[in-house]
Structure 1
Amino acid sequence: MKRTNLVLTARVVALGAALTLGVSQAQLMGTPAQLAAQPALKGFAAQGGLLVSGGTRVTADVAGGRVVGVLVEADSVDGLARGLGAGWNVAEKDLPKLTQNLSNPALLAAARTGYVDLTDDSGTDLIALKVTGTGSATRYLGYVAVKIWPDSAFPPVKAAVGTAGAPNVLRVFSDFQCPYCKQLWDSSMRDWRAAPASFRVVHYEFPLSFHRNAQGSAEASECAGAQGKFWAFADQLFANFATWTPLDPKDAPAKYAGYAKAAGLDTAAFKTCVGQRTFRADVDAQMKAGVGVNVQGTPTVFLNGMKLRNYSDTAEVAQVRAVTTATPGAAILIDARLKLFR
């Protein structure tokens, strides 16, 4: 697999096309029946586990009853567009435009070596393309799938709660001064923490630059974590959200010390830690890791490696749990397919 500046060109041309065609959400995570009924696959016939029309074959990768990937093997760009269009939920009237974009020379040149890239900056889906042969023997291989980030994409941190062997791992990128993060803390976070056998929750710092007390509170929470009191201290921060968030940054540490005392910390050690900014580099590293997995704002929640569009949507959470804990799971199916493009 080769990633060059052509990959970015391909993303802008091919994937941006899907977005400009009005695709608000991919068909991915729908059922196989819903995929087969996509307008882009009109005229395709079911043959075993395939959907076939002429020289185009479409295969759905299914985990937990949901489509997690769509593989397209085609002898024409039009066939490739129909298969990918089904994965993107493209309307039939928009297929010519998608075909035009997929015919871009820069895209086809990049696909000669094969590549895998994210479909857009949200980082929820991926695409892979490969072109082989020449002339009438040219063949097109395409794949769209949900993006599942491996554990290695997330650095180890002390702020984790729940059974280590819990079947569901929630990774939360949060900013203590973010009002939406407080909403999460007071709702879904409370429920997840109350079910430690089902959910392991891992917290990552992602202080936003326009929140003037975000960096300081993040570093303070890491100081609390060093004493094994991250969660108790974080509870205090959010419980007193309206008190400390409006303060001048130079006045906030005094409040943090009070919250540390209420959380049962050694306040002298805590004050030294905060004053020396002991965990500044750790906070920056977590922020960098978040950027690496396409975190764009807070809160951002990953469940078993999949970014949730809406953490409070119980149906979405149930679907993600189903596809990631199935046997074989979505990650295994997708990784196996991606080997075709390397």
Structure 2
Amino acid sequence: MLSLGGAAQAQLLSTPQETVAQPILKGFAPDGPVLRRGATTITLDVAGGHVVGVLTETDNLNDLARGIAVGWGMGEADVPRLAQSLGQPQVLAQLRKGLQDFSDENATDFFVIKASGEGAATRYRAYTAVQIWPDSAFPATKNVTGSVGAPNTLRIFSDFQCPYCKQLWDTALPGWEGQAGVYRTAHYQFPLDFHKNAFSAAEASECAGAQGKFWPYADVLFDQFSSWTRLDPKDAPGRYSAYAKTAGLDTAAFKTCLGQRTFKTSVEAQYKAGQALGVRGTPTVFLNGVKLLDYRSPEEQAVVRAITRATPSASSVIDARLRTLR
């Protein structure tokens, strides 16, 4: 993994004007979304008024590194180091086969690099782009609220014992729920192993969800956060059953579900799916398939809505470019 970039997604989601103004592109002549210097061409893919991908075509490793650096938001001083990494024999061998990976473990963006030709005729093509996950990448869940026809989908990976998740639940979630015609919101379990009661709380919420009461039960869990999170794990199930009555559940059916660990496999599957999506902590929020760097930022949400709802959408633009690189 060429994990030499910073918050690449933030740079990729800049406007074309902001991207072209980067000092690292000094000396390149812009022609609309295309910038040229010598044998090097850098093309900006744009959707909804924002850069969602950067294609570099060149005959030298320095400009290959420079084009990648444009997408990753790096500076001039970073180019030689990146070029040196790209020039390592084992990396060059991979480039001839075609190399595709995420720029870091958070999987907010990806790159594709290919090399062709030999000697002085060697040409390089590199593409960095925002990672937009399709609906099929997320596990199935019935824990969804908001209108089926809402144009935007929020997907929250959360841990009931995480104080930052409680903060999201108390602050951002009411606003999203209040715009049911704008946002459809889905919840996924991501219980962190250092939270001793998180996994059992996730199972309890799924048992509530089986009765169509996930959201009111989750409200109770977060409302009583300071109470059950301090319990010894062996005492937590009794408290969960008390909360089931508060949330209006059939408590007998709830206790049976919890005692049989009916949703253990489902919680494990949701956690595993989150890992594959680059979820590393909680809460992690995806908007229309794009992982938000800060779910509290209305500006970031506006940009993501713009690129994903545009015609053509960012996904369409990126997919079309990838077809030319296969």
Please tell me the TM-score bracket, short chain as reference: over 0.9
The corresponding residue for 1:306 is: 290
Cα deviation, residue 149, structure 1: 1.0
Q: Is 1:93 aligned to residue 77 of structure 2?
A: yes
Q: Deviations over 1:53-100 (max 9, x none)?
A: 000001111111111110111111122112111112222233222222
The corresponding residue for 1:180 is: 164
Aligned partner (choices 138, 161, 180) of residue 154 of structure 1: 138
Give the Cα separation in 2 of the matches to 1:100 and 1:17.
Answer: 12
Aligned partner (choices 260, 271, 293) of residue 287 of structure 1: 271
The corresponding residue for 1:201 is: 185
Call closer, same or farther: CA 1:329–1:85 in 2, change over 3 Å: same
Call closer, same or farther: CA 1:217–1:148 in 2, change over 3 Å: same
Call closer, same or farther: CA 1:315–1:26 in 2, change over 3 Å: closer
2:5 match: secondary structure:
helix
Q: Is the 8 A contact 1:115 1:341 kept in 2?
A: no
- Map 1:114-129; keep pairs closer than 5 Å: 114-129=98-113
Supply the AA of the counterpart residue of 1:113.
K
Supply the AA of the counterpart residue of 1:18.
G
Cα deviation, residue 182, structure 1: 0.2
Supply the AA of the counterpart residue of 2:201.
S
Q: Is 1:163 aligned to residue 147 of structure 2?
A: yes
Q: Is 1:254 aligned to residue 241 of structure 2?
A: no
Q: Is the 8 A contact 2:43 2:55 kept in 1?
A: yes
Give the Cα separation in 2 of the matches to 1:94 and 1:116.
Answer: 21
Q: Is the 8 A contact 2:16 2:33 kept in 1?
A: no
1:328 match: secondary structure:
coil
Aligned partner (choices 200, 213, 226) of residue 216 of structure 1: 200
The TM-score, its normalising length taken from structure 2, stands at 0.97
The corresponding residue for 2:5 is: 18
| RMSD (Å) for aligned C-alpha atoms | 1.3
Cα deviation, residue 199, structure 1: 0.4
Q: Is the 8 A contact 1:70 1:83 kept in 2?
A: yes
Q: Deviations over 1:25-67 (max 9, x none)?
A: 7521111011111122110001343100000001111111111
Q: Deviations over 1:133-160 (max 9, x none)?
A: 1112111000111111111110111101
Q: Deviations over 1:190-215 (max 9, x none)?
A: 11111111001000001111111101
The corresponding residue for 1:4 is: none
The size of the alignment, in residue pairs, is 326
Q: Deviations over 1:249-289 (max 9, x none)?
A: 11111211121111111111001111111110111110111
Q: Deviations over 1:96-149 (max 9, x none)?
A: 222222212222111112132100001111111000111121110001111111
Name the stretch that deviates more: 237-246 or 248-257. 248-257
Name the stretch that deviates more: 88-97 or 278-287. 88-97
Cα deviation, residue 17, structure 1: 3.3
Supply the AA of the counterpart residue of 1:195.
Q
Q: Is the 8 A contact 1:39 1:86 kept in 2?
A: no
Give the Cα separation in 1 of the matches to 2:306 and 2:72.
Answer: 21
The corresponding residue for 2:127 is: 143
Cα deviation, residue 341, structure 1: 2.9
Q: Is the 8 A contact 1:174 1:207 kept in 2?
A: yes
Supply the AA of the counterpart residue of 1:58.
I
The corresponding residue for 1:43 is: 27
Give the Cα separation in 1 of the matches to 2:60 and 2:187.
Answer: 47
The TM-score, its normalising length taken from structure 1, stands at 0.92
Aligned partner (choices 284, 300, 313) of residue 316 of structure 1: 300
Name the stretch that deviates more: 102-111 or 318-327. 102-111
2:226 match: secondary structure:
helix
Name the stretch that deviates more: 44-53 or 291-300. 44-53
Give the Cα separation in 1 of the matches to 2:276 and 2:80.
Answer: 34
Call closer, same or farther: CA 1:72–1:315 in 2, change over 3 Å: same
Q: Which contiguous aligned blocks of 4+ residues in structure 1 show a shift greater than 6 angstroms?
A: none
